[in-house]
Structure 1
């Protein structure tokens, strides 16, 4: 199963907890929808602690917030990412002017379950008190392919970006719960 996530907004190289939370909030509805569609809806019991055996429950609570990742150790999954960054900077300019490695770190942090220090004091949530994210931890990413191009809808010095993340989950070992995701 491959899928695509899209983020529109500022992708700062030195991101605060608020910056990363803003990115998480834009990704969350996309992942909620993904869990409601086939094939993930066939295994959504792994997202409910009362329905899933402890060994395959994917949720993790940090502070008062329950995080639900797709790529998790419980499901024996890793992932490959292909990322396309579109910004007002000319192609190749992200390396010189945009600190691409730190922007990628911001993105990977925002796609992962945060540490308690990465949760802003004013963290807004949906009524269920959960946040859906891509990764349990960014160490589950096995490869990243990155390209960038010019975003022609923005002025030259705009901080706005469009980030397109193609996700390809990979099973460490095949189980009944990860079969639909990894293949």
Structure 2
């Protein structure tokens, strides 16, 4: 299964010394939710499987919903689906002269922020303080249950050519979901 996600906006590096790193990652994570929700609605491979991510199945080996600090999250690339992901990322960045815009962080640290934002939070400490899901009982959809489901990735940085653009980063992420293992648990996801 293949599809494309996009993002336009700030993508700051979130090193250990940055106090707002959880909020930055959560903002990017929330950006992808509507795209993943739309994927569930229209992709033939996903349409018959929405009960595993919409909260109607709440326990057992089939559910993809995990709760972090009382908030539901669902990663589509998940051990229960037996799937892994390959990512092909085009990262468009503004240039000044012959170099990337200063003080915006280097590419590898931006990718670390992106990978953290593509996965569901693993524990309470990865969410912003006092964060509550704006989706009520429905899970916030994430591409990955955990970023260890990424098997291959490529990153191509290039110039953002939009004149007078205030966009910090524009990403096009081509996702290839592949079956990793055949198990009874994963068989309900088909091939």
TM-score range, shorter chain: 0.7 to 0.9
**Equivalent in the alignment of 1:99:** 106
User: Structure 2-normalised TM-score?
Assistant: 0.82
Q: What does 1:150-161 align with in structure 2 at a 5 Å threshold?
A: 150-153=159-162, 155=164, 160-161=168-169
Mapped partners of 2:176, 2:135: distance in 1: 27
Residue 92 of structure 1 contacts residue 148 of structure 1 at CA under 8 Å; is this kept in 2?
Answer: no
> SS state of the match for residue 135, structure 2?
coil
Mapped partners of 2:140, 2:5: distance in 1: 15
Residues matched between the structures, number: 178
User: Structure 1-normalised TM-score?
Assistant: 0.86
- The change in CA–CA distance for 1:50 and 1:26 in structure 2 (over 3 A counts) is closer
The alignment's C-alpha RMSD in Å is 2.5
C-alpha displacement of 1:49: 5.0
Q: What does 1:24-103 align with in structure 2 at a 5 Å threshold?
A: 24-37=29-42, 38-48=44-54, 50-51=56-57, 54-89=60-95, 93=100, 98-103=105-110
Q: Which runs of 5+ in 1 are unaligned?
A: none
- The change in CA–CA distance for 1:111 and 1:154 in structure 2 (over 3 A counts) is farther
Residue 86 of structure 2 contacts residue 150 of structure 2 at CA under 8 Å; is this kept in 1?
Answer: yes
**Equivalent in the alignment of 2:18:** none
User: Residue 108 of structure 1: which of 101, 115, 131 is its match?
Assistant: 115
Answering whether residue 1 of structure 2 is matched by residue 22 of structure 1, we say no
> SS state of the match for residue 68, structure 1?
strand
Answering whether residue 143 of structure 2 is matched by residue 134 of structure 1, we say yes
Q: Which runs of 5+ in 2 are unaligned?
A: 16-20
